[in-house]
Structure 1
């Protein structure tokens, strides 16, 4: 299966390296990047003979497109994948939540959109519970201030996180509202909303906590089939504290599920 990676940043580089060095049934066919010269230098330094192409060209040649690009590029990537009948794998739940038309567009072109689990624990259980009746879903996200200082909501509202000595709640609302306020920081909440009772009924709190070194999420689901709580502490990447190391691994696990004869989980 030929894989194209759109975006060669924190997540894209990990996925690329894994495909080149450790996967047999998945082939890194091409890369698209906002800074093509930088991408070519990285690929050359890594010793990989992988072409850097446009998003349109990637959609014509790759079987699967992996979206690792900034949120602003999501629509262009998703439209190209949909129109060429490709599989799109993404962790941009916040972007997908505000682009319902793309699902119909993918269906019309014979493509698929797969929202990878990313940093969310227990997504299978939430999806299963949603086949019955879910009464409520709440999520509390706590992150070190350094993971939030560049968030749109923080910058726009001039929230000073540089000298916190106690936890500060910087957002409370629905997952949809959170995705609008934090488009690059709440993909976990967006995925939770899409999997469960919907983004408008999923309640979200975001805290900046100076006592933390890891991004943490605590989720409570109350359904007619089960009541469960999920807690996860993600180890941040060195390159981008707002991105957990498990996110790229989740993308790779999603790609493996497309070709493996044994599929674990729903």
Structure 2
């Protein structure tokens, strides 16, 4: 029996999620998957967090990360998204973005992936039931709505709030701060609505997916309530995601990436 060539993974960004994914891969949680390279802004900080970097695992620039990787996992601030996305797609690799809202702002990347023979794979993340929404989209979806509630700290600094001089400091009761489409939400809250962006891409698109965002001091978890009405089903679900070290991101995101990577090499994959 011949052994398979390991799937080579590169990680762009070692924040709370990227570092968690890197450590899991280094620990060998997926047979047949290896962490090959990382791209970071602060190499010294990254090396302190992961001593293996620079020795067993290579440092690469954002544009060169895909040179010797089969899959690139993007865990970056939104401003750095496009550079690594374009470089990965142009090399015909598999691109796994966590800044999913950026796909709504860069729709040309999907066409570009088709032209270059690349693929874009969005992990489930905190979105329970994504498979069900995709199944519903094979028929006719009448409506999709998401209501997101987050602790105020997780929403601070969002462009939508900054532009309107909205302060959440000292908030004592829930406050609705946004009501619009997923596309509009991706522009105003680029670091907060990746779940809504993924939902819109799986279902009826960003202009027909309705989104409410609440700053809620009474919750300690990022809470998403989703309702989908289609010709095949009516779906209602609520997800309460425990925030990671980065309050904008839930602890479920890193395991979701690992599950997506496992699905690329496993003999058995459950779910579409």
TM-score norm. by structure 1 comes to 0.96
Residues 90-137 of structure 1 show CA distances to partners (whole Å, capped at 9, x for unaligned) of 122210112121112112221111111111111100001011000000
CA contact (8 A) 2:144 2:229 kept: yes
Residues 171 and 48 of structure 1, relative CA distance in 2, 3 Å threshold? farther
* Structure 2 counterparts to residues 61-140 of structure 1, below 5 A: 61-140=68-147
Number of residue pairs the alignment of both structures matches? 265
CA positional deviation for 1:51 = 1.6
In structure 2, the CA distance between the partners of 1:259 and 1:187, relative to structure 1 (3 Å rule), is same
2:163 to 135, 156, 159: 156
Query: 2:218 & 2:55 partners in 1: Cα distance?
Result: 41
Alignment pair present for 1:170 and 2:174: no
Q: Given the alignment, which residue of 12, 17, 31 partners 2:23?
A: 17
Within-5 A mapping of 1:27-42: 27-42=34-49
Counterpart Cα distance in 2 of 1:241 and 1:55? 25
1:43 and 1:50 in contact (8 A); partners too? no
Give 1:23 shift. 2.4
Distance in 1 between the 2:127 and 2:107 partners? Answer: 21
Partners in 2 of 1:223 and 1:189 — Cα distance? 18
**C-alpha distance in structure 2 between counterparts of 1:225 and 1:173, whole Å:** 26
Q: Secondary structure at the match of 1:44?
A: coil
CA distance in 2, matches of 1:99, 1:165: 37
Q: CA RMSD in A?
A: 1.4
Could you tell me which residue of structure 2 aligns to residue 243 of structure 1? Answer: 249
1:37 positional shift = 2.9
Cα distance in structure 1, aligned partners of 2:54 and 2:190: 34
Task: State the shift of 1:151 in Å.
Answer: 1.8
Residue of structure 2 equivalent to 1:181: 188
Where does 1:197-212 land on structure 2 (aligned, <5 Å)?
A: 197-212=204-219
Structure 1 residue corresponding to 2:225, chosen from 212, 218, 241: 218
Q: Give the Å deviation of 1:49.
A: 2.8
Identify the match of residue 231 of structure 1 among 233, 238, 246: 238
In the TM superposition, what is the alpha-carbon distance from 1:45 to its structure 2 partner? 7.4
Quote how far apart the aligned CAs of 1:74 are: 1.2
1:143 aligns with 2:150: yes
**2:9 is matched with which residue: 3, 14, 30?**
3
Cα contact 1:216–1:231 (8 A) shared by 2: yes
| Long gaps (5+) in structure 1 | none
8 Å Cα contact 2:74/2:95 also seen in 1:
yes
Match of 1:55 in 2: 62
TM-fit CA distance, 1:46? 8.1
Are the equivalent residues in 1 in contact too, given 2:46–2:53 (CA < 8 A)?
Answer: no
> Hey, what's the Cα distance between the residues in 2 that align with 1:242 and 1:98?
19
